């Protein structure tokens, strides 16, 4: 069996640095990539997020009707939350309209982003980052799982976070609490933390920051 490609933490850093965060669209795209990378969710799950699904106090995201119509909570790192706060405070108010007041990520004309656009955006970021690997959204999702496992996370927690119903093909896993899942995420995900000094510098660069 041919091994799947994955992105290293260094390659992910290059991808995340592609959007120009001094522009509204660039800041939105950075927030999208950070959430995608932090949570490892499916593309349809990401574009379906509502603002109320993000719990900044608990550090979790509620995914409604994921694959198999199953709801679940997933942890989100401090760095992704930082970018979300910037997006929600300075960019989303410019985009939101009456028709889609709840969706988290919006286009510049106030419509929810679509799956094909998201795949094209991720693919474009890979190319601009100089990364010659096939894939797009699923490559990011696969890389999150691999990096967390390499960081010492138990496969059961990774499966719970990604919304997998089974380990491998038949082995079932036991449910884990969101508090334990957040703890595992914090110690095994390379983007779970926030560089405070970097955050302060970025706040001075973003539009309206």
- Known catalytic residue: 173? yes
- Which H helix or E strand runs over 85? helix 78-86
Q: How far is CA 79 from the centre of its chain?
A: 11
Selected catalytic residue, list 67, 85, 142, 180 = 67
Distances (CA, A) of 166 to 37, 163, 176, 177: 22, 9, 14, 17
Selected catalytic residue, list 85, 123, 142, 164 = 164
Q: Among 73, 19, 14, which residue's Cα sits nearest to residue 41?
A: 73
> Which residue matches tokens 């990401």?
46
SS3 labels along 146-176: HHHHHCCCCHHHHHHHHCCCCECCCECCCCC
Strand order in the sheet with 72-75: 54-55, 60-63, 72-75
- Known catalytic residue: 189? no
Alpha-carbon torsion angle 168, 174, 180, 182, nearest 10: 40
- Known catalytic residue: 141? yes
- Known catalytic residue: 6? no
Selected catalytic residue, list 141, 156, 182, 185 = 141
Which residues form the catalytic set? 42, 67, 138, 141, 164, 173
């Amino acid at each position: 069996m041919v091994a799947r490609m994955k992105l290293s933490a260094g390659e992910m850093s290059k991808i995340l640095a592609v959007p120009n965060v001094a522009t509204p669209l660039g800041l939105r795209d950075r927030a999208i990539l950070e959430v995608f990378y932090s949570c490892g969710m499916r593309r349809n799950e990401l574009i379906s997020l509502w603002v109320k699904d993000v719990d900044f106090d608990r550090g979790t995201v509620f995914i409604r009707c994921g694959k198999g119509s199953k709801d679940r909570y997933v942890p989100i790192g401090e760095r992704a939350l930082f970018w979300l706060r910037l997006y929600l405070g300075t960019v989303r108010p410019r985009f939101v309209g009456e028709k889609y007041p709840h969706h988290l990520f919006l286009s510049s004309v106030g419509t929810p982003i679509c799956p094909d656009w998201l795949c094209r955006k991720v693919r474009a970021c890979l190319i601009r980052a100089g990364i010659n690997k096939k894939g797009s959204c699923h490559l990011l999702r696969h890389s999150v799982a691999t990096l967390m496992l390499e960081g010492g996370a138990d496969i059961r927690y990774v499966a719970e976070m990604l919304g997998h119903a089974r380990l491998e093909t038949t082995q079932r896993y036991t449910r884990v609490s969101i508090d334990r899942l957040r703890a595992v995420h914090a110690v095994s995900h390379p983007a779970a933390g926030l560089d405070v000094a970097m955050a302060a510098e970025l706040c001075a660069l973003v539009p309206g920051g």
